Amino acid sequence: MVKKRMVIILTIIQLVIFSLIGRLVQLQLVSTESFHGINLIEESVAQRTEQLIIDDGRGMFVDRYGQPLTYEYIPTLVLFPFLKKMDWPIDQIATIVSMPKETIKRQLEEAKGPIILHNGQQPIQLQPWQMERINELHIPGVIAVHKQYELEQKYAQHVIGLLGENEKLLKERYRDRTLSPKTKIGVSGLQSSFDEFLIPDGETKLLYHVDARGEPLFGMDVKYTEQANPFYPITVQTTIDRTMQQHVEQIIAQHGMEKGAVVLLDVETNDIVALASAPAMDERNPYKNEAAQNRALLPQVPGSVFKVVVAAAALENGLVHGQTFNCDRKINGEPEEKKKGMRSFEESFAISCNNTFAELGKQLIAMDKNMFDIYAQKLGLLPRVGWEGDVYHFESFRPLREEKQGKIWTDERDKHVPLAVAQTAIGQKDVRVSPLAVANMMATIARGGEAKQVRIAQKMMYKNGTTFFTFDEKRLTTDSLRQETIDKLQELLQLVVMHPEGTGRAFQSLPYTVAGKSGTAETGKEKLVNKWFAGYFPADRPKYALVVVQLETASAASVTNAIFADIVRATYELEQKGMNEG
């Protein structure tokens, strides 16, 4: 009996020993990099390593002039905590950086790890000669580096987009790559669409090994590690003008636009100069009130802005020949509250007479059920207008991947219903187009009829500054309007501003002459409308196309025109300043 008990006890002991050995094998040999989602090697190294991240390795965005839009590199001074336990030439460093050595000592005494030397609340910014002199001294634990910092001022947040940690999505996107589960990836905007090019290959950091008491383990040498690939990370040069973008965002904020969008395009290149969406995004809670949505890329009810399409189709198809239209009637035949009398086609456009375009719309659809679609595409309003093409091994790459396609009809049967056609002709019913697409239509007209894709990125560059890929200008369609039609549309858009009763007459006193079209669209919400003004300037030599839309606002409270006017003024002032400096 005793013998049997001993055998059982010994067997249990052996099983426990074998279990412990198996566990050690698992920890030390098998699951060292994936033990319950933890990389044991990394964690063990981290326990005995003091380090400072200099650069997280992710690619960056810059504006058209190379100004940073996401983060910048500040030349500054790194100090390691073991300095407070050794004699080092602090006086020399204090002299070079022009800072009392007591201030340096105090910051070191408070340090629990590597620190950036600060002057008040800000890191000190070194001059090139200071960096060179500091690093020539070869003092262990004293290193001058270019440290990566997020910009305090955020630019074009809806365009650039958000970063976030999502281990599941990270694994789905990058199955073939070994990345830390804490690697941030793009979840919206350009950060998302360019993520495959921007994802880091590794961090740049300063580090040294310590023992259990925090003392240097292998001497005082600090190791500098960086990405192995000398060409990465990639920099994306956008078409954004950082200064103009800042002005646009400030103007929107000053006028308190709660919901809407602004798009400013360069007419010649069709590049986005500035793009903003309201409300502004709070990165601490970006999805509150749907603030993360880029409303400039989402289809909205355009109202009378759509009359440009009807006007173009009517002109091309010979429906305009000096006749007058009854502007005392609504599109359903009922009397208008504000009587405007019999008006010519040109006046009807200037004062935005609904009945004129309802009648023309019905005639056009009677000729061809697809008439609105055909001319919307010729004007660069449909389908999507953002740049699209093959990039590297990505087919149909779209930088503005959140752009949604507009539409004119939801139910084809509406093309046979006169009232539905009339409502569609004035940009109501089911018509939906994005502010970006409307801006593209205005740029197409201003440019003389050539519809182009809208660019947000100019090129991608390697770390050494050489070009990796260029986003060439591309046609949106080769099917253009006749030159006489474009000339007439330009006259009509100028008349909106210059006519005494024109809906854009408030812009007559601006430093640039403006051509454009207003729009007031019913939203389906009681007494709330979308207020648009879309146009280009200077009218005689177009350089910019501009669209401002305030969504779901009380008509009397609209700030659309005020924002449009202030952006035109800001553009003028910046150009004058540039000319004077030049």
DSSP type of residue 555: G
- Where helices occur in 36-141 by DSSP H, the ranges are 40-47, 90-97, 101-109, 128-136
How many whole angstroms separate alpha carbon 460 and alpha carbon 236?
5
Q: What are the counts of helices (DSSP H) followed by strands (DSSP E) for the chain? A: 18, 23
What secondary structure does DSSP assign to 292-326, as a single string?
TS-GGGS-B--GGGGHHHHHHHHHHTT--SS-EEE
Q: Catalytic residue, from 188, 304, 352, 518: name it.
A: 304
* Dihedral sign (CA 290, 59, 436, 575): positive
> Which uninterrupted H or E stretch holds 250?
helix 242-254
**Best CA proximity match to 75, nearest among 136, 129, 153, 152:** 129
What secondary structure does DSSP assign to 421-489, as a single string?
HHHHHTT-TT-BB-HHHHHHHHHHHHHTS--BPBBSEEEEE-TTS-EEEE----BS-S----HHHHHHH
* Dihedral sign (CA 562, 567, 573, 576): negative
* Per-residue b or e along 196-207, where b marks 16 or more CB atoms closer than 10 Å to that residue's CB: bbbbbebbbbbb
Query: What are residue 534's phi and psi, to 5 degrees?
Result: -125, 130
Cα 103 off chain centre by: 41
How many whole angstroms separate alpha carbon 186 and alpha carbon 464?
24
**Best CA proximity match to 547, nearest among 391, 392, 443, 423:** 443
Known active-site residue 304: yes
Name 300's bridge partners. Answer: 433
Q: How many CA atoms lie within 13 A of 565 on its CB side?
A: 13
> How buried is residue 412: exposed, middle or buried, by Cβ count under 10 Å (0-12/13-18/19+)?
exposed
By the 8 A CB rule, do 333 and 419 touch? no
Question: Catalytic amino acids?
Answer: 304
